Structure 1
Amino acid sequence: MATSPTAPASNTDRPAPVFLTWDDIDAATQTLAGQVTAGGMPDVVVAIVRGGMIPAAMLAHRLGIRDVRTVEVTRTSGDGIHAVKTLLPTARNPASLGDLEGLDVLLVDDIVGSGATLARTASLLRDLGPARVRTAVLTVNRANWTQSTEPHRVIDHIASLNDTWIVFPWEGRHER
C-alpha cells in the first residue's frame, strides 16, 4: 500500500493525506488473506460499517467465506479529512450480528486510529459467545494510536502501517 503523501501538505502541522488506489486495496486484502489463512479459516467475516464493508467483502471472497455480517460502530463525527472524533465509539444495532455462538469470527475494518473502535467492536462480538474473534485491518494510522502497546500486539492481522490520514477509493474524494 502507498505510504507516502501524494497531496501537498496543508498549512497546519498535519502531514498530507495518502490517497489509496484500488490496486493498493487489492494488494492489502491479498496480504490479509495470507495472514488469516495461516491462523485457520474463520466461519464468518464481520465488517465494521461503513469503512470495513468493502475490505470485508473483498477478504471474504479471497477466503471463500460466504457468511459476511455487519455492525455499525463509529467514532468519527463526519467524513472529512481529519474529522473530529467522538469521545467513545458508539454501536448501533448490534442485534444485526445474529448468532455467533461457537463460531470463529474475523472482524474487519479499513483503518484503525486510536484502536478504540476496533477494541469496542471486538468486545461486543466476544459478548455473543464466539469460539474466537480475530481482527484484521487494511492499515493502522500510528499518528492516532493511543494504546500503550504496539498495534501488532493488539490487532491480529495488519496489511500496513502509516502515519497520516488515509483516503480510500470508495470514499469518493479525489483531491490531490
Structure 2
Amino acid sequence: MEQGQPKAFPVHWEQFHRDARALAWRLASQGEWKAIVCITRGGLVPAAIVARELGIRNIETVCIASYHDYKDQGSLEVIKPIDPEVIGLDGGEGAGVLVIDDLVDSGNTAAVVRKMLPKAHFATVYAKPKGRPQIDTFITEVSQDTWIYFPWDMGFTFQPPLTKDTQG
C-alpha cells in the first residue's frame, strides 16, 4: 500500500450487527437510559440496534453534516438540533441520555453535540485515536488513516489486494 493512502476497512452487515450488539451489552450495565440521541446519518443504524437491545423507545436525532462527497470532512453544519424535551430529561443537559454514532473520527462532530448535551454518555461502534477523548464507550479502535466502508455505503465489488503481487 502506498504511503498516505488510507487503509480500507470494509464492514459487512453481519459484523456491524455483532459490533452494535456488543456496544449495547457494554452500555446495559452503565446506566438507566431515558433516551437515545443518534447523530445522523451514521448513527441511525447502530441506534436502532442499541435501542432494541436495551428496550429504549425514546429516540431523537441530531442532524449534523460533516463529510462531503464521502471522502473529505469539511465544516460542520447542524441541520436539525436536539428536541429541548430530550435535553431536559433527568435534570437537563442530557443526563440519562445515550448519544450514539457509528464512528468517531476527528471528534469534531461529537464535540458539537457534547456542548448540547454535556451530561450525556457518548458511544460509538468504532473509534479513531483523535476522536477517542470525546467518546465514553466504543467497541473497536481503528487507526486514524483507516477509512471504514459501512455496509450501507457498499455494493458488491472487487477489492484489490493490500500489496501488489510481484510474482506475476
Q: TM-score, normalised by structure 2?
A: 0.80
Aligned-partner Cα distance in 1 for 2:122–2:45: 15
Contact 1:137–1:157 (8 Å) recurs in 2:
yes
- Aligned partner letter, 1:165: W
1:99 aligns with 2:90: no
Equivalent of residue 137 in structure 2, options 145, 157, 172: 157
1-side partners of 2:14 and 2:46: how far apart? 12
User: Which residue does the alignment assign to 1:168?
Assistant: 150
Gaps of 5+ in 2: 91-95, 160-168
List runs of 5+ in structure 1 lacking aligned partners. 1-8, 127-131
1:106-128 CA distance string (max 9 Å, x none): 001111111010111121234xx
Q: Work out which of the two has the higher radius of gyration on C-alpha atoms and give 1 or 2.
A: 2
Q: CA deviation at 1:138?
A: 0.8
Q: Is 1:123 aligned to 2:115, yes or no?
A: yes
1:133-154 deviations in whole A, cap 9, x for unaligned?
Answer: 0001010133xx2x6xxx2x43
The residue number in structure 2 matching 1:89 is 76
Aligned residues: 150
Q: Which residue of 2 aligns with 1:29?
A: 20
Distance in structure 1 (CA, Å) of the matches to 2:89 and 2:41: 26
Counterparts of 1:172 and 1:41, CA distance in 2: 35
C-alpha contact (below 8 Å) 2:99/2:123 kept by paired residues: yes
Could you tell me how far 1:12 is from its partner in structure 2? 5.6
User: Is structure 2 residue 63 aligned with structure 1 residue 72?
Assistant: yes
Distance 2:155 2:126 in 1: 18
Name the residue aligned to 2:93. Answer: none
Do the aligned residues in 1 keep the contact of 2:34 with 2:89 (CA within 8 Å)? Answer: no
- Return the alpha-carbon distance in structure 1 between the equivalents of residues 31 and 104 of structure 2: 23
CA drift at 1:173: 4.2
> Taking structure 1 as the reference length, what is the TM-score of the superposition?
0.77
Task: State the SS of the aligned residue for 1:36.
Answer: helix
Deviations 1:27-57 (A, max 9, x none): 2112211221221121101111111101101
Identity %: 27
63, 71, 75: which one pairs with 2:54?
63
| Aligned-pair Cα RMSD in Å | 1.9
Task: Give 1:102 deviation, angstroms.
Answer: 2.7
